[in-house]
Amino acid sequence: MNTQSLATLPQPEHAIVIQNLRKVYAAQGTGKEKVALEDFSLTIRKGAFFALLGPNGAGKSTAINILAGLCNKTSGTVNIWGMDIDAQRRQSKYALGIVPQEINIDPFFTPFEAMELQAGLYGVPKSQRKTMEILEALGLADKANSYARTLSGGMRRRLMVAKAMVHQPPILVLDEPTAGVDVHLRQQLWEYVKKLNKAGTTILLTTHYLEEAQQLCDEIAIINKGGLVAHDSTVNLLKKLDSKVLNVKFSAAVVDIPPVLAAFSPSQPAPDTLRFQFKSQQGTMQAILGALQQANLPVSDLLTEEGDLEDLFLELTGG
């Protein structure tokens, strides 16, 4: 199956549809069987920049491995680009480009050779290959003919992304793609991925860098203990959190917190600072400001913070 035949397939309504997915690992020795996924259902729309988040052991890697065909599910159904992974195993795998957590490259191949080999394995005709275009986009063109063993860790990570794109898949799965990548190379990588997404590629990202997920992704799902605990647009998820923080810095240390302020249960991260956390819809901000006037303490600075994805993640996964 080549790129042309994939392009001729009917365009599906959704990129990935997972229904009632269950995965149980058999007991080892005297241990018990392990349920990694239980009644896990998830729909990822075509063209989304989607984050699948969860703590270690939540089931993220198991779900990704099932999509990639590296792990057999116990029960449930999985459709990739409109194709069932059981009935159309080969075709459905062709619709994915997988960037795994582990860096897996042959140290005696150059990036150009590794890309050409990968394209050949996917049956991409030479006339349709975009090896140098992809290497250029990922900042690897000047290393195209250097041995892979001479590349830095960040360059090797980007080479993994390049290899996943040789057959121009409609879905790109990025499993912790920026682990060990410095800030500059990380930005370069995300610029390329954002261009792919704007051009129509569906992006499925797993990451422990929650700020990245919040900034990049338009949809987020959170998995915990093998089950889905949240799935919505990034904007709606943050609205549900509805959390605000007011940091008040005073001109001198606050030795005894006045009762009028103590009523709001502030924390004291520094001798001269009180931190108030509250729900934004409760009208608490105005009440705190009024209490500060009553306390008659010299305020030198005020700083407000909105709740972020990390707060929501900790709330939904039990910290």
Distance CA 217, CA 271 (A): 38
pLDDT digits (tens, 9 = 90+) for 182-210: 788 788 888 889 999 999 999 999 998 88
Tell me the three state secondary structure of residue 55.
coil
Question: Are the beta carbons of 26 and 194 closer than 8 angstroms?
Answer: no
Beta bridge partners of 276: 246
Q: Are residues 236 and 258 in the same domain?
A: no
Please state the rounded mean pLDDT for residues 95-118: 92
Amino acid, single-letter form, for residue 203:
I
Q: Please check whether residue 181 lies inside any domain of the structure.
A: no
How many beta carbons lie within 10 A of that of residue 74, not counting itself? 15
Query: Is 310 found in the same domain as 258?
Result: yes
Range in 122-136, 166-180, 261-275 with the lowest mean pLDDT? 166-180
**pLDDT reported for residue 102:** 84
pLDDT at 220: 96
CATH number at residue 293: 3.30.70
Q: Whole-model pTM above 0.85?
A: no
DSSP structure string for 180-193:
T--HHHHHHHHHHH
Q: Which of 212, 241, 270 is the last residue of a domain?
A: 241
pLDDT in tens, 255-275: 999 999 999 999 999 999 999
Strands 267-270 and 96-99: unpaired
Domains of the chain: total = 2
Mean pLDDT value across residues 167-176: 93
Torsion region of 250: left, alpha or beta (phi above 0 gives left; psi -120 to 50 gives alpha): beta
pLDDT bucket at 254, cuts 50 / 70 / 90: very high
* Residue range 117-141: mean pLDDT, rounded: 92
DSSP 116-135: HHHHHHTT--GGG--HHHHH
Task: Based on DSSP, count helices (H) and strands (E) in the chain, helices before strands.
Answer: 12, 14
172 pLDDT above the threshold of 60: yes
Q: What is the CATH number of the domain that holds 48?
A: 3.40.50.300
Q: Are 6 and 94 in contact (CB under 8 A)?
A: yes
Do 274 and 229 fall into the same domain?
Answer: no
Residue 2 has pLDDT above 60, yes or no: no
What are the φ and ψ backbone dihedral angles of 65, each rounded to 5 degrees? -65, -35
Q: What is the pLDDT of residue 219?
A: 96
- Of 188, 223, 241, the residue at which a domain comes to its end is 241
Please give the residue that has the higher pLDDT: either 240 or 273.
273
* Residue 126 in domain: no
Residue 7: predicted pLDDT: 59
Domain enclosing residue 275, as ranges: 242-316
